[in-house]
Structure 1
């Protein structure tokens, strides 16, 4: 029988309006994330929070010790839910994430959070490479506009491109409602 964990990646204050690096749809994604977190808690499942800080005070966002680097109030950890600090896009790199999952006998992951095109992508690919079965909840993730070759790529297209790539080879990509039903 499979055992699942919820990985909440980088839902932090700087990604919200008024933060240093606001994402398109951050509030809606966090609302869905909060629903998923509550359902996981209600089922007495494992919720692991990932919090990113850069190592320099000169970072564009998530500066060490700043309010912007704190978990957003909509998804704050409760009780003994671990909060793992990372300094790289991949939530497994130089963290205890794999050890925490192994200690709990986890073989399936549900991944939510930000940014779709960086940390969600890197974490999902690493999880699949480690042999986990992965679900990414697309409407509990957020992104932002990017630039490529002098053109602006709207956040919705960035998000769709990364979700479609993850769905092609690394994860089942589904909605919050599909997961919860």
Structure 2
């Protein structure tokens, strides 16, 4: 029996400058996550697979980070989008709420998602749960699942 070909996409969630040194919300493991994201991104680009960058922009007037037009809100250089890669802007923890993400994935017939993001408990979790509820096959690559011996990311789903 022939195996059905399925299309895959990589979602990079909130890998933005405010999480790094001198950022407004510096995250202790930001460089480790960025390294994992970079290796995963390189693999997807090499195979010419779809890459989607999810960028959080705060809409709260009292926000301390991810403020539109600031360096902190920009996507981190190591994983910055290249021509042809989609950038989805969100204002909620869940990347599917009030964005065009679902429509974009459907229009590209995506069935499998690999997700790497900065904050597992804030943005990755609701996005993964919604993706699973919508019927996507999901591989969440977490920084705490890094195989220390091989220095490669490990899939969690």
TM-score range, shorter chain: 0.7 to 0.9
* Contact 1:57 1:64 survives alignment (8 Å): no
Other-structure match for 2:57: 53
Other-structure match for 1:9: 13
Structure 1 vs Structure 2 CA RMSD:
1.6
Other-structure match for 1:111: 115
Is the aligned partner of 1:126 residue 2:133? no
Q: Alignment partner of 2:110: what SS?
A: coil
Other-structure match for 1:138: 142
* Structure 2: tracts of 5 or more residues without a match: 146-150
User: Normalised by the size of structure 1, how large is the TM-score?
Assistant: 0.77
The structure with the greater share of residues assigned to strand is: 1
1:32 Cα deviation (Å)? 1.2
How many residue pairs end up in the alignment? Answer: 146
Other-structure match for 2:42: 38
The structure with the greater share of residues assigned to helix is: 1
Map Cα deviations across residues 83-136 of structure 1 (whole Å, 9 max, x no partner): 011000000101110111111110110000121111001110110111101000
Distance 2:28 2:154 in 1: 22
After superposing on structure 2, the runs of 4+ consecutive aligned residues of structure 1 that deviate more than 6 Å are: none
